[in-house]
Chains A and B, each alone.
Chain A
Amino acid sequence: MKEILAFDNVRLTYHTRQGEVTALKELTFSLGEGEFAAMIGPSGCGKSTILSLAAGLIKPSAGSVTLGGSIGYMLQRDELFPWRTIEKNLYLPLEVQKKNTPARRARALELAEQYGLSGFLKSYPSQLSGGMRQRAALIRTLVMEPDILLLDEPFSALDYQTRLLVAADVSRIIRSEKKAALLITHDISEAISLADRILVLTARPARLLASHETDFLSSDPLKRREEPRFSGWFETLWKELDP
């Protein structure tokens, strides 16, 4: 499998007037093309920093981050622009990346159609449910045709039931588009139900504690939760996170 994202011995130190904080230290991991990985760790261990590094928004203090493709970032909140219709929101990445061509716009509409958003194109974000909005945010990310999706706790702002459904929804879409994904979450069961590989981080400064390949029969998050090995995985990860 071709590598699409590689962290090699990465250290990141934040400097403020009050002092310096090392968020990551000796972090090494990689992600292959089309692979769906989840990253879990104690809260405040610098998980979001890893995504910022992967996206190239910040530079590592030491070590290297290699990205072999384009990224799409999906955040905790949908971050749809309230003054734009859903359609105009989908075009936002095209406008920013100067790819606002009829062909690209047609592709965006095709994605919207394919994933059940075409009835909402002329609506404003406030007229959509939380789940629908997060789906629109995902389609907006896909419009950029990214090779890898960086998901920063994208379901944590939703209520529990919606959360399970939207997670299943997003997983299905990402898998059918054959994209690689790196999901950051603090929810162990979310990580297990979605990802093929789970990376466990230590407390700050974060290093890689363990990497597990999951062995589920299904790729559907809701079905995975019903498989007997689900609780086994949960227990393993729970123990690793709890020193």
Chain B
Amino acid sequence: MKHETISKEHRAFLQKSRKKTGIVNAVRLGLLLLLLGLWELVTALNWADPFLVSSPSRIAKTIASLYREGTLFYHIGITLSETLIGFFAAILSGVLIALLLWWSETLRRILEPYIVVLNALPKIALGPLIIIWCGTGSRAIVFMTILVTVILVILHMLSAFLSADEGKVLLLKSMGANKAHILAKLVIPSSLPAFVSMLKVAVGMSWIGSIMGEYIVSRAGLGYLIVYGGQVFKLDLVMAATVILCFLAALMYFLVALLEKKLVKNKES
């Protein structure tokens, strides 16, 4: 819109709405600083035992010392690679399985109870099995990540594939389209928004999978630091690893959100 065409009233509205966004952002940041400040204060004044609740400055020191020892990026790298490999493998296999289930109604009916049970099963119950099958290395953790994430991907994508508009299917069939045409022209493009929203959930699930896997078996990684820190009562280490996890998970989520903005131009009326 050109600037001259904006009415006075509209300009006032825009100003007001921009002002509101500014206030929200400022309060958001202020709240974080306030909480961190309070945390620091109560521990500095010894109202709460810093040994038990840690403190922002101790967390910062712990991260700094991990960095100096050269292990910070080592642990981050281990967990990040396990999470990412598990994430992509789960997305790829999940989407492929969902496609197969979409293609064949019979297969879908046969496998439905298995998927329902697998979905309901707490995956951590399979921990011992996974250790025996995959050993105690990164492979077990990646496997756990895939297991936790893949069912969600399958269910989410299958329901998206199946909800392709009936009228449009009929239209394509009247043009002489076969199943492959319907898949390529309608089902896949119309499932794109569902795919991106599934990615957002899958990000969270794959972090759950990798950290859970590291809790069960690991000699390195952020999950390992948390478990180790808990065992030797180094709460600073537990908190530091948790803070780093928060950052990484948020970063990955924002990357997906960015992808969503690029991919999904909402053209549905």
Contact = CB atoms under 8 A, between A and B. Distances in A.
B123 to A, nearest CB: 35
Interface residues of A, number: 22
A97 B175 contact: yes
A75 B170 contact: yes
Given A79-B168, A82-B268, A125-B269, 12 more contacts: A55-B173, A57-B170, A57-B174, A75-B171, A79-B171, A81-B186, A81-B189, A83-B189, A96-B172, A96-B185, A126-B268, A144-B175
B70 interface: no
A82 B186 CA distance: 10
Interface of A: 55, 57, 71-73, 75-77, 79, 81-83, 92-93, 95-97, 124-126, 144, 150
Interface string B150-191: 000000000000000101101111111100010001100110
Nearest to B268: A82
B2 interface: no
Interface residues of B, number: 21
B267 interface: yes
A232 to B, nearest CB: 36
A79 B268 contact: no
Nearest to A93: B175
A95 B189 CA distance: 15
17 contacts: A57-B170, A57-B173, A57-B174, A73-B175, A75-B170, A77-B167, A79-B165, A79-B167, A82-B268, A82-B269, A83-B190, A83-B267, A92-B175, A96-B172, A96-B185, A124-B267, A126-B267
A96 B172 CA distance: 8
A96 to B, nearest CB: 5
Contacts of B186: 81
